[in-house]
Amino acid sequence: MAIRREFKIGQILIILSTVFLNAKKMSEFKQVIKKRGLEFDNLIDKLDNFKITTPSWAYSEGGTRFYVFKDKFAAKNLFERIKFAGQVNKYTGITPDLSIHIPWDLVDDFYKAKEMADNIGINITTVNPNLFQDDDYKLGSISNSNKDIRDKAVNHILDCVEIGKIFKAPYLSLWFADGSNFPGQTDFIKRKYWILDCLNKVYYKMENYMTMLIEYKFYEPAFYHTDIPDWGTALLFCQKLGNRANVLVDLGHHAQGTNIEFIVANLIDEKRLGGFHLNSRKYGDDDLTTGSLNPYELFLIFNELNKINIKGFRKISFMLDQSHNLKPKIEAMIQSILSSQRIFAKVLTIDRNKLEDAQEKGDIIKAEECLKDAFFTDVKPLLYHFREIKNLPIEPLKAYETSDFKKKLTL
Amino acid sequence: MAIRREFKIGQILIILSTVFLNAKKMSEFKQVIKKRGLEFDNLIDKLDNFKITTPSWAYSEGGTRFYVFKDKFAAKNLFERIKFAGQVNKYTGITPDLSIHIPWDLVDDFYKAKEMADNIGINITTVNPNLFQDDDYKLGSISNSNKDIRDKAVNHILDCVEIGKIFKAPYLSLWFADGSNFPGQTDFIKRKYWILDCLNKVYYKMENYMTMLIEYKFYEPAFYHTDIPDWGTALLFCQKLGNRANVLVDLGHHAQGTNIEFIVANLIDEKRLGGFHLNSRKYGDDDLTTGSLNPYELFLIFNELNKINIKGFRKISFMLDQSHNLKPKIEAMIQSILSSQRIFAKVLTIDRNKLEDAQEKGDIIKAEECLKDAFFTDVKPLLYHFREIKNLPIEPLKAYETSDFKKKLTL
Amino acid sequence: MAIRREFKIGQILIILSTVFLNAKKMSEFKQVIKKRGLEFDNLIDKLDNFKITTPSWAYSEGGTRFYVFKDKFAAKNLFERIKFAGQVNKYTGITPDLSIHIPWDLVDDFYKAKEMADNIGINITTVNPNLFQDDDYKLGSISNSNKDIRDKAVNHILDCVEIGKIFKAPYLSLWFADGSNFPGQTDFIKRKYWILDCLNKVYYKMENYMTMLIEYKFYEPAFYHTDIPDWGTALLFCQKLGNRANVLVDLGHHAQGTNIEFIVANLIDEKRLGGFHLNSRKYGDDDLTTGSLNPYELFLIFNELNKINIKGFRKISFMLDQSHNLKPKIEAMIQSILSSQRIFAKVLTIDRNKLEDAQEKGDIIKAEECLKDAFFTDVKPLLYHFREIKNLPIEPLKAYETSDFKKKLTL
Amino acid sequence: MAIRREFKIGQILIILSTVFLNAKKMSEFKQVIKKRGLEFDNLIDKLDNFKITTPSWAYSEGGTRFYVFKDKFAAKNLFERIKFAGQVNKYTGITPDLSIHIPWDLVDDFYKAKEMADNIGINITTVNPNLFQDDDYKLGSISNSNKDIRDKAVNHILDCVEIGKIFKAPYLSLWFADGSNFPGQTDFIKRKYWILDCLNKVYYKMENYMTMLIEYKFYEPAFYHTDIPDWGTALLFCQKLGNRANVLVDLGHHAQGTNIEFIVANLIDEKRLGGFHLNSRKYGDDDLTTGSLNPYELFLIFNELNKINIKGFRKISFMLDQSHNLKPKIEAMIQSILSSQRIFAKVLTIDRNKLEDAQEKGDIIKAEECLKDAFFTDVKPLLYHFREIKNLPIEPLKAYETSDFKKKLTL
C-alpha cells in the first residue's frame, strides 16, 4: 500500500511539475512583461500586425559587379518566385506579400500569376519598374536630358502602374539609378525639374489606392552625384507631388554613421514614411541579411515605429531588399524574416513608461538600460506562442530545411 | 652715329618690350577668357561682389578637446577682434563683415564697438548665440525637456536679436549643439516640437531685415543623435518658420563622401540657401583652412553659385568658420580668404556655353575638361588686376607679414 | 486523515516545486550550454579570468571640445579615483586594476597612493604619460623636429616608467597625439625615425616585467596626418623595438566600417596584441559606454579572444577608455563593466564545434546562427551564479545606486 | 630713308617681339622654376621617367553590379587591346606598358600577341590572374577551406607566371576577392595560413626578375571581412614571403578619410611599395578617371615619390585601374594619363628647399603654400616642351579625337 501510494505521489509530482514547468517559461516571460507595464495579448496583436513583403528578386541569383555565382536552385521566373514566397510564408506566417520587378517578372499572363498567387495565399502588393538596365539610360532615365528617353522611362513606369492595377497593388516603388560619375557631367537642377515633371505624369495616373514610394540612395551605381541621394531630396519630391507620394528608407542607402532611426522618426512625424527596404550593411549598399551586422541598430529603428498605432503601422510597407550572393535563397529569406521578427518582438518588450520617466528625469543610464533590457530579453516564449496559435512550426528555418519542398528542389 | 642709333633702337626695344610684356600676361589671360566666351569686366564685377564674413572667434585661441595651445598674439576681446578683422580687410579688401559670438564678444558698450568698427570699415553683420557652454544645457538647450531651460535659451537668443539691432545685422546665425549620446536618452520628436516652438518665438521677434540661419551638423558634440543633423531637417524647420529662415551649410558638417555641391544647388533652387560656413576637413568637423584639403571640392561648390545673378548672390552669407589651433590667427585668416578668392576666381573662368553644350550632347569628357581647364587656369592676372584697381597689395599675405601691425603685435 | 494527507502532499508539492524551480533556470541554462558542447565550470573559470582595468580619468570630469559640463561628484585626484575604482570593483568584482595618467594623477607621495590602493584591493597596473597638454608639443612630442622637445617628451615618459616601478605596473601605455593639420606641414618619414629613436630610449629603460603598449588612432587631434594612424604603423614600431612592445587597440580609433575583430585576430596571431581600450562610437572617437552603440560588434571582437587559452588571455590588457560627459562617473563605469562582461559571457556560450563544422562545410547560415544563438542567449543565470559564488551583488548597478557610498557622495 | 628705317625698325620690333614672346612663356616658367631652386633639365628628365602602365580591361566594356552599358567601340580581345594601348602611347608617349588579365586576355598564341605588341612598341609587363569569376571561388580562392580549390587557384596563378615568362613581365599582380559576407562564416586565421601557403608556392616559381604585387582592399566584393583589407596585412604577407613581394596601393581601396600619401611614404621607407593602381573615387572603389575627384590628393601622393631618386622610382609600377562605364575607352585612358602627368609635373615644381626650411621652422603656412604654389603652377610650358622634344602632339586628347584611327573605329 505504502509503496503504491508513494508511486502515485511520484506520478502526480512528475505530471504536475511538467505541466507547471511547461507553463513556467511563458509565465516567467509574462511576469517580465507585466513588470514592464505591458500586456501579453497586446504584444501578440502587435506581433500579428507585423508583416514583411519579400522581393521576388531575392529568390533569384544575385551577385556583385565581379561575378554572379550560379545557383541552380534559385527561382527563374515569376511563377517560381511566387512558389518560393509561398514557402517562406508557409513557414514564417508573416510574409503574405510579394514585391515584383518589371521586366524581371514579366509573364505572358499576369492574371494567371495572380490566380496562382491567390491560391498560395500570396498577394502581389508592390510593383518596381526597372530604369537602369537599358543602354538608353546610360546618362539617366527620368533625368535624362533627352526627352525621348524620359518619355520612354515614364511609359515604362506607367506600364508598371497598369500591372499594379491587375493586382490592386497598393505600392509603386521607385528607385532611380540616375546620377553622374564626374563633376561637370550634368546639371543637377535641370535634372530635378525633369524628374519632377516625369513623376507628376505618373502620379496622376495612379489609382487612388496606390502610393508612390520614392527611394533615395547615397551613391552607386552613380559615383559622383545621385539625383535622389538622401531623404531630404526624396521628401522634397513627395511634398511637390502630393499625399500619395512617400519616402522609402532602404537601410543600406546612407552614409556611414547616419542615424537612420532619427530619419525614420522624422518621416513618421511628417507623415511621409512610405516604407522600408530592410537589409544590413557594413560598408556600402551591401544588401546583406537583415539584422546580420548590427542587430541593435535594427532594434532602434523598429523602436521608432512603436509610436504609430496598429492601424497606422500597417500603412508602412516593410519590404526586404537583399541580394543573396552566397546563401541559398529560401533559407536566407526565412532567416531574414525571423531575424526581423525577433528584433521587432524585442522592441515590443520595452518598458515605455519607465523609459519616458527616465527621459523626463534626464536619467540617461536608466533610459538606456530600458532599451538594453528589452534588447537582451529572450523573446522565444512570445515567438513560440505566436507560432503555436498560428499553427506555424516553432522553428521555421529548421522546419523548412527538412521539408519535402526543399528535398524536391535540391534533388 | 651708328652706335648711337643702335643704342637708341636697343633702348626703344627694351622699353617697348617691357610695356608690351607687362601687358602681355594680362592680354593672354584676356584671350583665354574671351575664347571661353567670357568678358573680363564682368569677371571683375563678380569678383568684386564676392565678400567673406570673418568670425570673431577665429581671431582668438582655438583648440581641440585635448588642449588649447596658447597664443599670446591672439585677440582677447571684441575690440581686438575688430582690429584684427580690419587688418584682414585692409590687406584682402573683401572682408568688411564680421560675425560675432555672444557671450564671447560681450562688451559693456556695443555702441562703442560699433563706432570703432565703423571707423575701421568693419560691419558687424551676424550675431551667434552660444547655447552650449552652460551646465544647464547639458541635456539640450532649446530641445531640453525642461521648459525653464528652453526659455533661458530663447531669452539668450532674443538678447542676441537685440544686439543685432544695434548693428542692424542682417543675420542671426543659429547652431545648436543639442542632441544625445545614447540610444534611449531622449525622444527625437518631442524635441523637434520644442525646437520649433522656441524658434517660432525668436522668429517673430526678428526685424524684417533679419534672416535666421539654421545650421545643421552631422555629429559632435552629441555622439548618438543630433537634433538638426542634416540639411533636410534644417529645411523642414525653415519651411515651418517662414521665408526669413534659411539653411546654413558648414562645409565640415557632413558625412564622409557627401556631395555638398548638390545640396548647395538644391537649396539655391528651393530659395533656402542662407549662407556658408567655409572651412576644410579630412575627417570630422576639423575646421581647417578653407581650401586646404580638397580645393577642387570648394571649386565645385562655388560653381553652383554661378547660377545666381549678382544681386541674389549677395544675399547668401559667406562666412568663414575655422579653428586655428596651430596657425597664427591673422595670417591664417588672410590665407583662407585668398584661398577662397582664388578658387572663386577660377570658377569665373568656366566656359559655360561649352559646358552646357557638352552636357547636352552627353560628352562627359569635354564637360569635365571645361571644369578642369578653369580649375587649372592661372588666375593671378585677374586677381592682381583686381587688387591693383582696388589699391590693395598684390600679395596680401606677404604684405601683412612685413607690416608694422604685425611687427607691433608680435613684439 | 484524508485531509491531512492531501495537505501533506500539497506541502510537499510546493516545497519540491520551489526547489525544483529555483534550480530550473540554471538547469535550463546548463542544458543549453551542454547541448553546445560546453562545460559550465569551464565557463565560470573563463568568466573569472575576465578582468577589466578602469582608467582614472573616467572618474573625473570629461568633455568635448565645446565644453566640459561640471560634475561636482566627479573625482578630483588620484586618491579619490582609487576610492572610486574600489567602489566599482566592490560591486562588479572584476576591476581590480587601475590605469593612471601622469600628470593628472600626480601626487606628492605615490607610495601613499599605493598603500591606499593596496588596502582597497586596487592595483595600479598601467601608467600613461601625457604628451599633448603642453605648448611645447604644439608641433609634436616625440616626433617634434626640435630635439629638445623630443628629449623633454622622452624624459616625461621615463618619469612614468619610474612611477610604474613603484607600482610594479606591467604596462606603459603610450598614445601620441602627434601629427599635422595641413599638407606640407611636416615630413612623415623624418618623424618616423624620431619616434623610433625616442621609443628605443624608453624601451631599454623599462623593467623586464613591463610591456610598452603602442596605441594607434585614425585621426584627432591632428586633422591631416597622425604619426601612428593604424595598426600597421603601430606594429612596424613594435617589430623594430622588440617583444615587449605590443599594439593597443582602442575600439574608437578606426575609420568607419573597419572590421576590428579581424585586426584583433591578426594581432593575436602575430603575438602582438597588447591590449584594448574599450569604448563605443558611432562617428569619431566618441568614447561612449562600451557596448552602447553596437553590442554585436563587441561580441565579435571578444569572440576572437576565445582562441587564446586562459593563461595567454590574461596577458592582454582590457582597459576601458571612456569619456563620461553626461553620465555620473561611477555608475557609467559599472554600466560599462557589466555591459562588457555580459557580452563576454555570451561569447562563452558559442557552440564552437558546431561553428567549426558549419564553417568547414560552407554552411554560412548555420555558422552565422551559432553566433546569433550565443549572442541572444540569456546569460543572466551564468552571471548571477558567478556573482553569487563571488559574494557580489546580483545586480551591481542597482546595488551601488542604493549604497551608502553613493548617498554620501551625492549629499 | 627715315620712313624706310622706321619701317625696318618696326619690322625688327615685330620679329624680335615675336621670337622674344614665343620664348617668353617658357622663359617665365623657367624663371619660376629657377626661383624655386629647380633645374629645368632635371624636371624634363624626371618627367621622362614617369611612365604609366595601362590595363587591358579598361579598353573593354566596364560596368557596375547593375548593368554593363554596351560600347560597340570597346576592345574585344588582347589583340585589339594592344592596338588601343598603342594608340594611347602614340598620343601620350608615356604608356609603353600594358597589364593583362587572364583569362580575359587569353589568346591561342601569346607569342603572336608579343610580336604584335613589339611592333607597336608596347610591352606586356604585368600579368593579373583572375580568382573571382569561377563558381568554385564562391567561398574563397587561395583562402578556401577546400584544398582542391586552393590548388586550383595556385595552378591558375602559376599559369600566369608562365605567361609572364613569355613577355619577361616583371610584375605578377595579385588581387584576391576573398573574404566573407557574414560574421561566423569563416575563420580569419585559418585562411591567413592557407593564403600564405599558396603564395609561397607561387613565390618560389617566379623568375628572379619578377615581383609579386600584393593588393589590399578595404571591402567588396566581400562585405563583412576581406582577407587582405589593408596595407598592414599585405605587408605582413610580403615580410613573410621575401623581397620580391611588395605591396600594391590602389587609390580606391581605403576607408573614407584615409591618408593615402602617408601609407605610400611609409611603404617607400620600408622598401615595400611595389606599385599603384591609379584611379579616383568619392565613395567606394569607384574606379573613376585618375585625378577626377580630388586632384590635390593625387598631388600629395605623388609628392611622396619625389624622395626616391630616378632609378629607384622606375621600380615602382604605376598602373591605371579604372572602369570606364560611361566614357569612350581610349579617350578616357588618354584623359587619365594626361591628368596624372599634369599632377606629376606640378609636383616637380615644388620648392623643396623652401619647404624643408619652413617645415624645420614650424612655419605651417609657408610650408603649405609651397605645395599650393606648385599645385597651382601652370605646367603647360613644361608639358608642351616635353611633348615637343618627344615629337608628340601638344594636345594629345584633341589629336586623338581627330585622328584617322578614331574615325575608322567609330565608323
Q: pLDDT tens digits for A37-89? A: 999 999 999 999 999 999 999 999 888 989 999 999 999 999 999 999 999 99
Nearest to C17 among A20, A342, A397 (CB): A20
Share of residues in chain C with pLDDT > 90 (%):
88
Helices (H) and strands (E) in chain A, counts: 16, 10
Nearest beta carbon to residue C186 from set D219, D230, D359 = D359
- How distant is the Cα of C402 from the closest Cα of chain B, in angstroms? 22
Least Cα distance to D320 among D228, D248, D244 occurs for: D248
Amino acid at B249: V
pLDDT at C243 over 80: yes
CB–CB contact A365 C335 (8 Å):
yes
Going by the DSSP 8-state scheme, the letter that residue A257 receives in this structure is: T
Contact B283 C138 (CB under 8 A): no
The answer to whether residues A185 and A222 touch, using CB atoms and an 8 Å cutoff, is no
Q: What's the pLDDT at A307?
A: 72
Is residue C28 within 8 Å of C379, Cβ to Cβ? no
Q: What does the angle CA C242 – CA C243 – CA C245 come to, to the nearest 5 degrees? A: 75
**pLDDT band at residue C118 under the 50/70/90 scheme:** very high
Quick one: average pLDDT of C331-359?
A: 97
Residue type for position D187: D
Which helix (DSSP H) or strand (DSSP E) does residue C11 occupy? helix C2-35
**Per-residue model confidence as pLDDT tens digits over B83-141:** 999 999 999 999 999 999 999 999 999 999 999 999 999 999 999 999 999 999 999 99
Q: What are the tens digits of pLDDT across the range D166-224?
A: 999 999 999 999 999 999 999 999 999 999 999 999 999 999 999 999 999 999 999 99
CA-nearest residue of chain D to B346? Answer: D376
Which chain D residue lies closest to A327 (C-alpha atoms)? D181
Nearest to D13 among B16, B327, B368 (CB): B16
**Contacts with D295 from chain A: Cβ below 8 Å:** none
Whether the per-residue pLDDT at A171 is higher than 60: the answer is yes
Alpha helices in C36-105 (DSSP H): 40-48, 78-92
Per-residue confidence (pLDDT) for residue A139, from 0 to 100? 97
> Which of C36, C50, C32 is CA-nearest to residue C344?
C50
Question: Average model confidence (pLDDT) for chain B?
Answer: 93
Q: Do A289 and D218 touch (CB under 8 A)?
A: no
User: Do residues C167 and C110 touch, judged by C-beta distance below 8 A?
Assistant: yes
CB contact under 8 A, C259 and D233: no
Q: What is the mean pLDDT of residues B13-20?
A: 58
Cross-chain residue pair A284–D281, CB shorter than 8 Å = no
CA dihedral C365, C369, C372, C378 (to 10 degrees): 160
Contact D283 A220 (CB under 8 A): yes
CA quadruple B8, B10, B16, B19: dihedral sign: negative
The residue that leads in pLDDT, C221 or C12, is C221
Q: A176-226, pLDDT tens digit by residue?
A: 999 999 999 999 999 999 999 999 999 999 999 999 999 999 999 999 999
Cβ count near D248 (within 10 Å): 27
| Sign of the dihedral defined by the CA atoms of residues C7, C13, C19, C21, in that order | negative
* pLDDT above 70 as % of chain A: 93
Q: What is the dihedral of CA C187, C189, C191, C196, to 10 degrees?
A: 180
Find chain B residues with C-beta within 8 A of A224's C-beta: 259
d(CA C78, CA C120): 13
Contact indicator for B56, B104 with CB cutoff of 8 Å: yes
- Would the pLDDT of C376 be above 90? yes
Cα A212 from chain centre: 16
Helix, strand or coil for residue C279?
Answer: coil
Sequence-ordered list of residues with C-beta below 8 angstroms from that of A40, at least 6 positions apart, any chain: A30, A33, A34, A382
- In the prediction, which pLDDT does C52 show? 97
Give the tens place of pLDDT for each residue, A96-128: 999 999 999 999 999 999 999 999 999 999 999
Does the pLDDT of residue B209 top 60, yes or no? yes
Cβ contact (<8 Å) for D229 and C355?
A: no
Asked whether the predicted pLDDT for residue A287 surpasses 50, the reply is yes
Cα→Cα distances C119→A174, B41, C48, C96, C111, Å: 68, 82, 22, 12, 12
Average confidence (pLDDT) over D271-291? 96
Please report which helix (H) or strand (E) contains residue C215, including its range.
strand C211-215
Cα angle at D315 between D311 and D319, to 5 degrees? Answer: 130
Instruction: Return the pLDDT at D18.
Output: 52
- pLDDT at residue D330 greater than cutoff 80: yes
- Chain D residue with CA closest to B375: the answer is D376
Name the H helices within D349-403. 352-361, 364-375, 380-389, 396-401
* Residue D301 near residue D261, CB atoms below 8 Å: yes
Contacts of A133 in chain D (CB under 8 A): 66-67
Point out which residues pair with A124 in neighbouring strands. Answer: A98
CA A151 to chain centre: 31
Question: Can you give the pLDDT at residue C313?
Answer: 63
- Which residues of chain A make contact with D63, given a CB cutoff of 8 A? 65
- Separation between Cα atoms, residue B117 and residue D234, nearest integer Å: 59
Chain D contact set for A66 (CB, 8 A):
132-133, 177, 221
Q: Which of A186, A269, A360 is closest, CB to CB, to B192?
A: A269
Q: At what angle do helices C329-348 and C364-375 cross, to 10 degrees?
A: 140
Q: Is the pLDDT of residue A239 over 80?
A: yes
Q: pLDDT tens, B340-391?
A: 999 999 999 999 999 999 999 999 999 999 999 999 999 999 999 999 999 9
pLDDT over threshold 70, residue D16: no
Work out the minimum CA distance from B110 to partner chain A, whole angstroms: 38
Whether residue D92 is predicted with pLDDT greater than 90 in this model: the reply is: yes
Q: What is the ipTM of this complex?
A: 0.94
Rounded Cα gap, residues A281 and C334, in angstroms: 31
Count of helices and strands (H, E) across chain B: 16, 10
Fill in the amino acid letter for B103: P
Q: Is the pLDDT of residue B12 over 80?
A: no
For the cut 60, the answer to whether the pLDDT of residue D6 exceeds it is: no
* pLDDT above 90 coverage of chain D, percent: 88
| A230, A300, A358 member nearest B183 (Cβ) | A300
Q: What is the DSSP letter of A243?
A: T
Average pLDDT over residues D274-278: 97
For residue C168, the one-letter residue type is: K
- Do you find a cis peptide bond into D396, omega within 30 degrees of 0? no
> What is the C-alpha separation between D117 and D110, in angstroms, rounded?
10
In whole angstroms, what is the distance from residue D411 CA to residue D395 CA?
A: 23
Q: Ramachandran region of residue D357, left (φ > 0), alpha (ψ -120 to 50) or beta?
A: alpha
| Rounded-to-integer distance, Cα A144 and Cα A191, Å | 7
Q: How far apart are CA C213 and CA C55, in angstroms?
A: 15
Determine the average pLDDT of the residues in D96-121: 97
3-state SS record for chain B: CHHHHHHHHHHHHHHHHHHHHHHHHHHHHHHHHHHCCCCHHHHHHHHHHCCCEEEHHHHCCCCCCCCCCCCCCCCCCHHHHHHHHHHHHHHHCCCCEEEEEECCCCCCCHHHHHHHHHHHCCEEEEEEECCCCCHHHHHCCCCCCCHHHHHHHHHHHHHHHHHHHHHCCCEEEECCCCEECCCCCCCHHHHHHHHHHHHHHHHCCCCCCCEEEEECCCCCCCCCEECCCCHHHHHHHHHHHCCCEEEEEECCCCCCCCCHHHHHHHHHHCCCEEEEEECECCCCCCCECCCCCCHHHHHHHHHHHCCCCHHHHCCCEEEECCCCCCCCHHHHHHHHHHHHHHHHHHHHCCCHHHHHHHHHHCCHHHHHHHHHHHHCCCCHHHHHHHHHHCCCCCCHHHHHHCCHHHHHHCC
Q: What is the pLDDT of residues B83-97, one digit of tens each?
A: 999 999 999 999 999
Cα–Cα distance, B157 to B205 (Å, whole number): 10
Give the span between the Cα atoms of B128 and B130, in whole angstroms: 7
Locate the chain D residue with the closest alpha carbon to C138: D362
Q: Are D90 and D135 in contact (CB under 8 A)?
A: no
CB contact under 8 A, D293 and A183: yes
How far apart, in whole angstroms, are the C-alpha atoms of residue A249 and residue D77?
43
Number of residues written out for chain A: 411
Mean residue pLDDT across chain A: 93
pLDDT > 80? residue A7: no
Question: What span, in angstroms and rounded, lies between the C-alpha atoms of B388 and B186?
Answer: 57
Question: What is the pLDDT, as a whole number, of residue A62?
Answer: 84
Please answer yes or no on whether A364 and B192 come within 8 Å at the CB atom: no
Mean pLDDT of B39-45: 93
CA-wise closest residue to C326 among B182, A373, A82: B182
Contact (CB, 8 A) for C162 and C205: no
- A296 near C293, Cβ under 8 Å? yes
User: Residue D17 has what pLDDT?
Assistant: 58
Name the residue of chain D whose CA is nearest to A223's CA. D286
Mean pLDDT computed over D103-129: 97
- Tens of pLDDT along B276-326? 999 999 999 999 999 999 999 999 999 998 777 655 666 899 999 999 889
pTM value is: 0.95
| Candidate from D24, D257, D335 with C-beta closest to B365 | D335
**Predicted pLDDT of residue A357:** 97
